[in-house]
């Protein structure tokens, strides 16, 4: 896509636009994570070698954001989870998501990742049929159920 630039942010980058997009994403997805926590965690993520905070920009303006975190496990060795992917509504359907996913895949392949996953919330699935969207990019369900516990 012409005019769109994808880049990974680091700890010395200006993170306000990326954090603002993440906050907008969390509100649209109906998460209640406080803004200051999202900003703090985005700053932490940008400084970690085993994580990636990516933005898509057009004309110097952030239009999309994506995150990925690596982990090591017995079953697959290095794996990763794409935790967030958000594109401004006016940019949806223009290939920006695919560009972000490609950048994430390049990042994790360079680090020896053999498999990665995404987690879809029931809200996201009902609102946008994201299972079909991600299936077109090669993701497939394994039938696993992910349970979470807040600490």
pTM, full prediction: 0.89
Report which of residues 119 and 17 the model is more confident about.
17
Tens digits of per-residue pLDDT, 70-100? 999 998 899 999 999 999 999 999 999 999 9
Report which of residues 126 and 99 the model is more confident about.
99
Tens digits of per-residue pLDDT, 133-149? 888 888 888 777 777 77
Check residue 1 and give its pLDDT. Answer: 52
Check residue 147 and give its pLDDT. Answer: 75
H helix runs in 29-147, sequence order: 35-46, 96-110, 122-128, 130-135
Q: What is the average pLDDT value for the chain, to the nearest integer?
A: 92
- The yes-or-no verdict on residue 11 having pLDDT over 60 is yes
Supply 30's token pair: 């109906």
Check residue 107 and give its pLDDT. Answer: 97
Residue range 97-119: mean pLDDT, rounded: 94
Q: Are 1 and 51 in contact (CB under 8 A)?
A: no
Residues 6+ apart with CB under 8 A from 135: none
């Amino acid at each position: 896509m012409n005019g769109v630039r994808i880049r990974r942010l680091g700890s010395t980058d200006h993170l306000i636009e990326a954090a603002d997009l993440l906050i907008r994403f969390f509100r649209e997805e109906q998460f209640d994570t406080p803004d200051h926590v999202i900003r703090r965690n985005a700053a932490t993520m940008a400084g970690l070698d085993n994580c990636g905070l990516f933005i898509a920009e057009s004309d110097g303006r952030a239009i999309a954001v994506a995150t990925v975190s690596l982990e090591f496990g017995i079953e697959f060795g290095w794996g990763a989870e794409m935790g967030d992917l958000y594109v401004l509504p006016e940019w949806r359907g223009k290939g920006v998501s695919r560009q972000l996913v490609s950048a994430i895949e390049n990042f994790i392949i360079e680090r020896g990742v053999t498999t990665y996953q995404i987690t879809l919330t029931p809200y996201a699935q009902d609102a946008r049929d994201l299972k079909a969207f991600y299936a077109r990019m090669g993701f497939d369900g394994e039938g696993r159920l992910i349970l979470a516990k807040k600490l």
